[in-house]
A and B are shown apart, each in its own frame.
Chain A
Amino acid sequence: MTTTLSRRSDPAASEPRRARTRVGARVTPVRALPMLPAIGLLLVFLAGPIVWAIGGSLTDRALTGVGAAKPEYVGFDNFARLFADPVLPLSVLLTVVFVVGSAIVGQNALGLVLAVLFRAGSRAVAGTVGVIVVTAWVLPEIVAAFVGYAFLSADGTLNGVLALLGLDGPNWLYTLPMVAIILANTWRGTAFSMLIYRAALDDVPPEITESAMIDGAGAWQRLRFITLPMISGTIFTNLLLTTLQTLSVFTLIWVMTKGGPGDLSTTLPVFAYSQAFSFGDIGYGNAIAIVMLALGAVFSFAYVVSLRRRGGLS
């Protein structure tokens, strides 16, 4: 993922190539032939399911029973039911809370703070903290989920520390499920934003901040009026990327709360999964999948446009 942000167009590649070689010539069907395996894979396993989801959302296909053997066309019944379902607005709201809390506030703000502090702090401290934060990110998602579960459970480490301070911590996973999964996803994902922002800050020419310093700007003013505006493009792109990653988080939530208690941490991926597999309503699960895809498509489109504006493709 990092490569898309730090990509630079290679000057050698954009030079006009000599026409006498075949390199740089127009593509012909034979020359495009090697693209077939990739296109085939993408069509069968990515485009196929999307088309299948649209078809499936119009049937009463079920996991077992009559609906599994002979699904029938039901038109837009699934969508009518979905938009009348009180869990949908709740689920959309919880998804928004999860994205804003863990991706935008958690990962991006904390990642930016860490990247800024790394430049101010001493090298040994910055290096050690960097390794710890990255380790949390490199761990497989399910291990991160166990770790979050252990840390936040009623007799977990967090409540142990709170008890030392004389505070009686709640059962985070049960009483404050959204807080629990937001904390866990922030813990897991901050490294990505931290690495992106560290690279972006390293690209800011020191002459500019130095000249502002000579003009009498304090550390905060330099950050607010010079550094942040200079990396605003990176911030925007990274906000979109982390939003997209967070929209599709399933494992972490499923392991920690299973969407519960009740539906109180049922984000859209958990909603789709439990409708399709716990309640066996594949057609309904497909309809939720379409809503989720549409949401993802909006952010994905914004990401492509923003990258293109910044001259992303050579």
Chain B
Amino acid sequence: MSVAASQSRPRRGLSIASPQRRATRFWANVVLTVIGLLFAAPLAWVVLASIDSAATYQVAWPAEPTLNNFADVLTPELTLRPLLNSLLLSTGAAAVTVVASVLAAYPLSRYRSRFNGPFLYSVLFASCLPITAIMVPVYSLFVQMRLINQPWAVALFLAASALPMALWMTKNFMDSVPVSLEEAAWVDGASAMRALLTVVVPLMRPALSVVFVFVFLQAWGNFFVPFVLLLTPDWQPAAVSIYSFFGQYGTVAYGRLAAYSLLYSIPVLGLYLIVTRGLGGSFALSGAVKG
């Protein structure tokens, strides 16, 4: 801590490095470190238990680090098929959501209508409603329509549940695509859909990948929806299969549970990193028009 405290380099343009300020920094660092350790301890368990052949529920340094836990869970029926199912469900849901929101955002962004405001507010309202509240009626609706155990229907439901937020994001992103570029396409005689496809969508690629990843991550991490709607193991995603594993072996095979949790989480962490670092918050399109 003393190293951190001795760094008296001021951060926000303030040129006074008073002793009082240094003390503030020291205590801020102390409190931050304590909170950081409290947040890190549960995370340390997943990582350490996954390479420990004798893992318990406590954070402990593995006596003999091993990859056996990973080798044990990496079987087709336990992890590989569920992970593939997760990938298919999430990709399907994200693709449907992005296409539907781009199509719907275009008229909302480019044409005037007195229904735009009320429509967008209803969408925003819907995006906040607790999805868990409708799972019981969704289940009985799916039973009636014979959609239980149909992966495509579950993907469509996941798409619909993410759609309000995705549509809202897409509409705002589209508003910041300059209209002047499209006007050139209008003059050249392009139809609205053609202008959308050839001018707007390419400019929005970074923004749309943010929306795609946003929906993908939500679908990938969703446990409740497939838990209620997919009852046979054939199509169950990793979220449900890891829960069954926990129910059967969770109280004995701690190490394997941790290894499976890591395998299931790594794609999420990777995608999150890509979006926050790589895509730069999707403001790349502001450079399309100069002057």
Contacts and interface: CB of A to CB of B under 8 A. Distances in A.
Interface residues of A, number: 109
B33 A125 contact: yes
Interface stretch (B64-72, B73-81, B120-128): B120-128
Contacts of B287: none
Nearest to A123: B11
Contact of B40 (A61, A132, A255): A132
Interface in B199-236: 217, 220-224, 228
A124 B104 contact: no
Contact of A26 (B113, B165, B261): B113
B100 A41 contact: yes
Interface string B18-57: 0000001100110111011001111101100100000011
Nearest to B273: A138
Contacts of A187: 39, 42
Contact of B133 (A124, A151, A293): A293
Given A3-B172, A38-B104, A313-B120, A26 B134 contact: no
Nearest to B13: A206
B193 A160 contact: no
Contact of A155 (B57, B135, B137, B138): B57
A126 B217 CA distance: 26
B280 interface: no
Contacts of B258: 146
B45 A147 contact: yes
Contact of B42 (A4, A113, A120, A150): A150
B278 interface: no
A142 B125 contact: no
Contacts of A157: 41-42, 45, 57-59
B163 interface: yes
A241 to B, nearest CB: 8
A89 interface: no
B interface residue count range (under 10 / 10 to 19 / 20 to 34 / 35 or more): 35 or more
B71 to A, nearest CB: 20
Contact of B160 (A46, A142, A249, A301): A46
23 contacts: A24-B112, A26-B111, A27-B115, A32-B111, A45-B156, A46-B129, A52-B140, A53-B136, A56-B140, A120-B25, A125-B36, A135-B43, A138-B268, A139-B268, A146-B246, A150-B49, A151-B42, A156-B58, A244-B130, A286-B137, A293-B133, A297-B125, A313-B117
Interface of A: 1, 3-4, 7, 9-10, 12-13, 17, 21-27, 31-32, 34-35, 37-39, 41-42, 44-46, 48-50, 52-53, 56, 61, 110, 113-114, 117-126, 128-129, 132-133, 135-136, 138-143, 146-151, 153, 155-157, 160-161, 187, 190, 206, 210, 219, 241, 244, 247-251, 255, 268-269, 272-273, 276-277, 282, 285-286, 288-289, 292-293, 296-297, 299-301, 303-304, 307-308, 313-314
Interface of B: 4-5, 7, 11-14, 24-25, 28-29, 31-33, 35-36, 39-43, 45-46, 49, 56-59, 96, 99-101, 103-104, 106-113, 115-117, 120-121, 123-126, 128-141, 156-157, 159-161, 163-165, 167-169, 172, 175-176, 178-179, 182-183, 186, 192-193, 196, 217, 220-224, 228, 239, 242-243, 246, 250, 254, 257-258, 261, 264-265, 268-269, 272
